[in-house]
Amino acid sequence: MRELTRVVGNDCAVEIDTNSYSVPWRLIGERVAVTIAAGEVRIRHGLHQVAVHKQSEGRRLRIVDAAHLDGVAGRNGAVRQEIAALLDPSPPPSLLRSLAEYEALVGGGF
pLDDT for position 89: 60
- What pTM does this model have? 0.67
Single-letter amino acid, residue 15 = E
Closest by CA to 65, choosing from 17, 25, 23, is 23
H or E stretch covering 104: helix 99-106
Segment 28-80, tens digit of pLDDT:
999 999 999 999 999 999 999 999 999 999 999 999 998 898 877 665 544 44
Contact between residue 6 and residue 32 where contact means Cβ atoms under 8 Å apart: yes
- The answer, yes or no, to whether residue 95 has pLDDT greater than 90, is no
pLDDT for position 94: 61
pLDDT for position 91: 59
Please state, for a pLDDT cut of 70, what percent of the chain lies above it.
76
- Binned at pLDDT 50, 70 and 90, residue 104 comes out as confident
CA 5, CA 44: separation in Å to the nearest integer? 10
